[in-house]
Structure 1
């Protein structure tokens, strides 16, 4: 099925990732240490690789049959954006700082199992994932890889811009891109090329999709509490139906240990009475 589509500007890669609606960031590092997983989700390229959606059989590219074995999906972080995949996090493989202080993102290509990197990686698109009419091969949307998104807590608060108590992530920079290489398209891309300076094909609308954190979740920052110790089972003494009907009860003592950070929690509005 053919359908017109443009390139992948900031507004074209806002498909839903499926991240939690709210992600909580504690004030200190005691509750959320470096590398704590804050949230994760898997998103499929069909339909989420583009803002307006794509269908599995939508034809994205056409090449001559001589290109079989020479067409590739390239993928990388948004390496020319300081908060979109330019600066990696030491100690968390494949993670990059985001616009939010204390938050890093990591993208995984679910067909290769490899992390997105600032340096372009490639996956050959097999003939089994394309259509062939003997003259041309047609590359459908289903040929492009799904993604696994992870958000991690990081300690370095000097990285990032927003440190507010509540942030909806309106920052528009994408976190990762997918490019098509073949038939002369995105011809300047090669494995290991730095996406900060090499974005061959981007301006010519030869990239089919990508991923962004824009408006995907709400980050709430403040003091937090956690339950450190609690009984898995509380056994109550046996009692009869008659005793319960007559107002009796069955009780057993138990204790719960709760630890809370000090600090101001984000303000919450009370609904009108």
Structure 2
């Protein structure tokens, strides 16, 4: 979008990639990737890097000026879209960085022998990926390339790699005897892990949809804190409730499509990952991953929190109950993708939950036009009501109520 709408450095999308999403070679979370002698754990480490020998995979870092002050951003195949990857608290670059190794000690059960340590797929750390608005393109053979400005990300090259290596950087004990690289080496010229099939890569291929600027909306304001009037457990247990109104403001291109069908812009309010887990245990999540009520953060761990009470979302114009978005809150559909050693496709085609059941509502529903701050764009105000009341099961106990949620606007 225009920099007036989407300033340089804007984080356009973010996601957490769990290692168990890797399905190549028919892998599962329990698949053993590496086996070492017990005692080697003091000398081994993971190494992670961007794909430092690929212009669109992590070879060229975007300057802070061109990334709006953001650091650790690399060019991708998508026009004006940079990528920042973080693992183990470290922002990945083309230089191999060490990441601590998780493992299990062998007991002779489930393929891990006594005297060994086993590193399974589930032991790989999560990877955080952020797409960031930039203003330049990488130059390849003096030609400004990336052609992708709208549609499915079609470049198959990886964006990052992880491998197993030594902490000792070639000095002292060398428990990793197969091909690997060393801490601090540049992936542009060092990739010994590749021939040894030591590790695996991460890619944006078939996993990102770039949307046309003409079909774009974004949130510009949301009430930061919603305070409820004080009440007590007796009132809530008797069917009483307290409420508070709040609002969200959204700015849309005048050509944007509004609705909950494919290709349309919809809005929803998403519960946090910890709250989503608690909601599942409380029976508040439907088959479309929508959540009927928002419980407090750390609901099951914090003893100072009120129990069996939650926040419900209501359309104040119709008094209709609304669902919250669950996790991960992804939208649209992605095609099936093949891979090495898989039976059929490694990754099946997927369509993410949509519509009101999933917590998505049309931006045109209950929206009030409040201005045109930028030419070609319209600013909408969307009112909501939060209602604090008793959950269907259990008895309310006194305590604090503190919950956080995220306003999301996405193309479906």
Normalising to structure 1: TM-score of the pair?
0.68
**TM-superposed deviation, 1:143:** 1.9
- Would you say the 8 A contact 1:78–1:84 is kept in 2? yes
Distance 1:139 1:229 in 2: 45
C-alpha distance in 1, partners of 2:176/2:218?
A: 56
Instruction: Work out the CA distance in 1 between the residues paired with 2:189 and 2:148.
Output: 32
1:40 maps to: 14
Q: 1:212 to 1:139 in 2, by over 3 A?
A: same
**Shift in Å, 1:135:** 3.2
Q: Count residues in correspondence.
A: 213
Query: What's the CA shift for 1:168?
Result: 0.8
Give the Cα separation in 2 of the matches to 1:227 and 1:204: 47
Alignment-derived partner of residue 183 in structure 1:
176
Residues 161-208 of structure 1, C-alpha deviations (whole Å, 9 max, x = no match): 334552211111110011112531334x1211101111112111111x
| Partner residue in 2 for 1:214 | 205
Superposed CA RMSD in Å reads 3.0
Which whole-Å CA distance do the structure 1 matches of 2:194 and 2:89 have between them?
24
Aligned positions of 1:100-119 closer than 5 A: 100-109=78-87, 112-119=88-95
229 and 183 in structure 1: CA distance in 2 versus 1, 3 angstrom threshold: closer
Q: Which has the higher contact order (CA 8 A, sep 6+)?
A: 1
Q: Which residue of 1 aligns with 2:116?
A: 136
Q: Which residue of 2 aligns with 1:122?
A: 98
Deviation digits for residues 94-116 of structure 1, max 9, x if unmatched? 1101011100011111xx21111
Contact kept? 1:43, 1:146, Cα under 8 Å: yes
2:55 aligned partner: 82
1:96 aligns with 2:74: yes
- Once the 2 structures are TM-superposed, how far is the Cα of residue 77 of structure 1 from its aligned partner? 0.3
For the pair 1:64 / 2:48, whether they are aligned, the reply is no
TM-score (norm 2): 0.47
2: distance between equivalents of 1:232 and 1:65? 57
- 5 Å-filtered alignment, 1:257-268, equals 257-259=371-373
Structure 2: segments with no counterpart, 5+ residues: 65-69, 107-112, 166-174, 223-245, 249-315, 318-367, 378-412
Match of 1:147 among 124, 127, 132: 127
C-alpha distance after superposition, 1:141-169 (max 9, x if no partner): 12211111100010114667334552211
The answer on whether the counterparts of 2:49 and 2:160 sit within 8 Å (CA) in structure 1 is: yes
Match of 1:198 in 2: 190
Task: After TM superposition, give the deviation of residue 50 of structure 1 in Å.
Answer: 4.4
* SS of 1:108 mapped into structure 2: strand
**8 Å CA contact retained: 1:180, 1:186:** no
